[in-house]
């Protein structure tokens, strides 16, 4: 049976067909849908882990225990999982072990544009790159075979376009793969220095075998057309190049990209007159080709930043610009990201925004949008969990500069579980008096409402204990008098907590508790709740507009108005208005 699938859906299907038994991940765009789809198949175990390191380690253990295992994450997640990745490269596998890194050229939903192909030579593991959904399914099946044949972790690299674009996939029956026998082998699985030194030699021998495989595997193929132009490429760039050149060029299409196929590259280069390397971001293939002494053109003309597309390639190599096939008169309005109407994070940000001498450290999630005017609260965002630990560093630096800065660190519930707990431990242990604001909306919001340790359900829909953040915070050593749990829709309560925290000279925690406004059950519950402006009472002070709610705007007379189709009656604007010009309607 054939089916149209996204790359992520196809990866999940391929893992299932390959007999993968166990999968663990932390959600992150553009990788999230892989585990969501894999979890729906019968006879498999799939879980959301607290972070990527834990996910990788769970899959590592499953592999050692004899099961084919999968771990998926976005590119920055591999940074979190790098520690076990480098060690598992030495240990090898029992059951096949594949790790998906979903890179994000163009940074559609990421804080950097790193090229994770570079992890493969650094960690010394095999690397595979599909270019469409069909290859996603077929290549990941081969990845499990490669993992077991060569006793290696396999890094499976996709990009946003490959993950989210759709094409035809042919579905096949699952290949039932029995769990392999586990045998105790401390020289293989216990990486003390003496064992690791011996394993390093094995890793280098494995790389030589993988290099020979790369020159023979059908994952790497030559497609001869016009010999005047030769193109070496991989991933989505292959399809872009084919769209531009068609049969007017020859191609070396690489799907197995570490170790790179030296003999195949040399053979191909000798068949063409002029050689181009077309790849997104880092000149990974290009550097290898040039080290071999082969003349080629790559980043001299192909941009190193951002995504590629056929037009960019056409302009770079042929100096041609594609005439517009069609045009429309309408122009899409600018839509900057903003906290949703009724977002529970708005209350705490609004309360903090009134204090201009606060330094606010932000984190990865919806609450990053605390930086957006008119709230304009957030000062820094580094990576998952860094709001707390980074805030500690800023506090100490400003203290040494002789300033009395007050640091408020903002982090969500899922991110707190991911990597915020250790930062809070640091705050308590070293008695650094920052304020940690844990915004608990009962879900992993920005990546699409995935369950987490505080939501009460697992990835596969089973009831689960809800980790109590308040108890966790107290167990870490935060004093009870320095903890406030508030309803962020209650501005009075929230502002009082902010004031107490501001005046505290000890580590302080504020937990805001309200579910995400976009959770289906919440939307149904609040469907008839609205706020409306009493026009004759509005004095045009704009206090309500400073809450940053997109449901609020001004009419032609400068008075506030509320879009009833967007409003969910959270009443933050009503509380911000000092003139009683906003009222709540509906039940």
pLDDT tens digits along 269-284: 999 999 999 999 999 9
Share above pLDDT 70 across residues of the chain, in percent, rounded to a whole number: 99
Residue 69 has pLDDT above 70, yes or no: yes
Helix (H) or strand (E) holding 410: strand 406-412
pLDDT digits (tens, 9 = 90+) for 322-335: 776 667 778 878 87
pLDDT of residue 288: 98
Q: Would you state the pLDDT for residue 153? A: 98
Q: What are phi and psi of 429, to 5 degrees?
A: -60, -45
pLDDT number for residue 408: 98
pLDDT given at position 37: 98
Minimum mean pLDDT among 32-41, 213-222, 257-266, 320-329: which range? 320-329
How large is the average pLDDT for residues 96-124? Answer: 97
* pLDDT over 70 at 43, yes or no: yes
pTM: 0.94
Calculate the average pLDDT of the chain: 96
What separation, in Å, do the N-terminal and C-terminal C-alpha atoms of the chain show?
Answer: 50
Angle between helices 193-216 and 75-91 (to 10 degrees): 110
Percent of the chain with pLDDT over 90: 95
Peptide bond into 374 cis (omega under 30): yes
pLDDT in tens, 429-449: 999 999 999 999 999 998 999
Among residues 38, 107, 26, 135, the alpha carbon closest in space to that of 72 is found at 26
- Apex 265 CA angle, 264 and 266, nearest 5: 90
Residue 586 has pLDDT above 90, yes or no: no
User: Which candidate, 183, 172, 125, places its Cα nearest to that of 151?
Assistant: 125
More reliable by pLDDT, 586 or 552? 552
Over 80: is that where the pLDDT of 353 sits?
yes
Closest CA relative to residue 536, chosen from 501, 495, 581, 493? 581
Q: Which residues make beta-bridge pairs with 22?
A: 45, 69
pLDDT digits (tens, 9 = 90+) for 528-543: 999 999 999 999 999 9
The set of residues, in sequence order, having a beta carbon less than 8 Å from that of 333 and lying 6+ positions away, is: none
Domains within the chain, CATH numbers bracketed = 2-216 (3.40.50.970), 221-318 (3.40.50.920), 345-523 (3.40.50.970), 526-585 (3.30.70.20)
Closest CA to 69 of 105, 44, 87, 88: 44
Please tell me the predicted confidence (pLDDT) of residue 102: 98
Query: Structure tokens of 410?
Result: 């903002």
How much is the pLDDT for 324? Answer: 66
Copy the structure tokens of residue 371.
């930086």
> Which residues make beta-bridge pairs with 412?
439
Q: Is the pLDDT of residue 129 over 90?
A: yes
Instruction: Give residue 184's pLDDT band: very low, low, confident or very high (50, 70, 90).
Output: very high
> Residue 322 corresponds to which tokens in the numbers above?
């594609």
- Each residue of 245-269: pLDDT tens digit? 999 999 999 999 999 999 999 999 9
**Which residues, 6 or more positions from 260, have their beta carbon under 8 angstroms from its beta carbon?**
214, 254, 285, 288
Q: Is 584 helix (H, G, I), strand (E, B) or coil?
A: strand
């Amino acid at each position: 049976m054939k089916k149209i699938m996204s790359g992520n859906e196809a990866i999940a299907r391929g893992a299932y067909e390959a007999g993968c038994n166990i999968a663990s991940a932390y959600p992150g765009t553009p990788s999230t849908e892989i585990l969501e789809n894999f979890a729906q198949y019968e006879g498999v175990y799939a879980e959301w882990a607290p972070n990527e390191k834990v996910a990788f380690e769970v899959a590592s253990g499953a592999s050692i225990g004899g099961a084919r295992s999968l771990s998926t994450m976005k590119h920055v997640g591999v940074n979190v999982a790098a520690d076990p990745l480098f060690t598992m490269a030495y240990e090898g596998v029992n059951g096949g072990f594949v790790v998906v890194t979903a890179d994000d050229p163009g940074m559609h939903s990421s804080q950097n544009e790193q090229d994770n192909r570079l992890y493969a030579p650094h960690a010394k593991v095999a690397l595979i790159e599909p270019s469409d959904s069909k290859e996603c399914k077929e290549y990941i099946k081969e990845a499990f075979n490669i993992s077991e044949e060569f006793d290696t972790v396999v890094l499976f690299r996709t990009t946003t376009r490959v993950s989210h674009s759709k094409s035809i996939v042919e579905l096949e029956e699952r290949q039932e793969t029995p769990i392999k026998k586990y045998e105790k082998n401390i020289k293989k699985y216990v990486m003390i220095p003496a064992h690791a030194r011996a394993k390093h030699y094995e890793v280098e021998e494995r790389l030589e075998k993988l290099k020979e495989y790369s020159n023979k595997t059908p994952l790497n193929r030559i497609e001869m057309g016009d010999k005047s132009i030769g193109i070496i490429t991989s991933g989505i760039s292959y399809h872009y190049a084919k769209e531009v050149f068609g049969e007017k060029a020859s191609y070396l299409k690489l799907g197995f990209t570490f170790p790179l196929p030296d003999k195949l590259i040399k053979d191909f280069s000798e068949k063409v007159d002029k050689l181009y390397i077309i790849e997104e971001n880092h000149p990974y293939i290009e550097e290898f080709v040039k080290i071999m002494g082969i003349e080629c053109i790559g980043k001299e003309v192909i941009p190193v930043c951002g995504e590629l597309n056929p037009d960019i390639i056409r302009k770079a190599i042929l100096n041609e610009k594609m005439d517009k096939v069609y045009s429309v008169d309408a122009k899409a309005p600018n839509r900057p990201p903003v906290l949703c109407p009724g977002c529970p994070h708005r209350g705490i940000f609004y309360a903090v925004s009134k204090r201009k001498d606060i330094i606010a450290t932000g984190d990865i999630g919806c609450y990053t949008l605390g930086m957006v005017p008119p709230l304009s609260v957030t000062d820094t965002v580094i990576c998952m969990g860094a709001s707390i630990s980074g805030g500690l560093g800023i506090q100490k630096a400003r203290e040494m500069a002789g300033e009395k800065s007050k640091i408020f660190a903002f982090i969500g519930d899922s991110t707190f579980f991911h990597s915020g707990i250790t930062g809070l431990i640091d705050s308590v242990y070293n008695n650094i008096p920052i304020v940690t604001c844990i915004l608990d909306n009962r879900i992993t919001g920005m990546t699409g409402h995935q369950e987490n340790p505080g939501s009460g359900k697992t990835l596969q829909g089973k009831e689960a204990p809800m980790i109590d953040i308040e108890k966790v915070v107290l167990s870490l050593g935060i004093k009870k008098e320095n903890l406030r749990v508030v309803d962020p829709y209650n501005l009075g309560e929230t502002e009082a907590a902010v004031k107490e925290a501001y005046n505290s000279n000890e580590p302080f925690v504020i937990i805001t508790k309200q579910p995400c406004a976009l959770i289906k059950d919440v939307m149904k519950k609040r469907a008839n709740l609205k706020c409306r402006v009493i026009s004759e009472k509005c004095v045009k002070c704009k206090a309500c507009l400073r809450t940053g709610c997109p449901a609020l705007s001004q009419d032609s007379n400068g008075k506030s108005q509320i879009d009833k189709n967007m409003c969910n009656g959270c009443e933050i604007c009503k509380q911000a208005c000092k003139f009683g010009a906003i009222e709540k309607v509906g039940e």
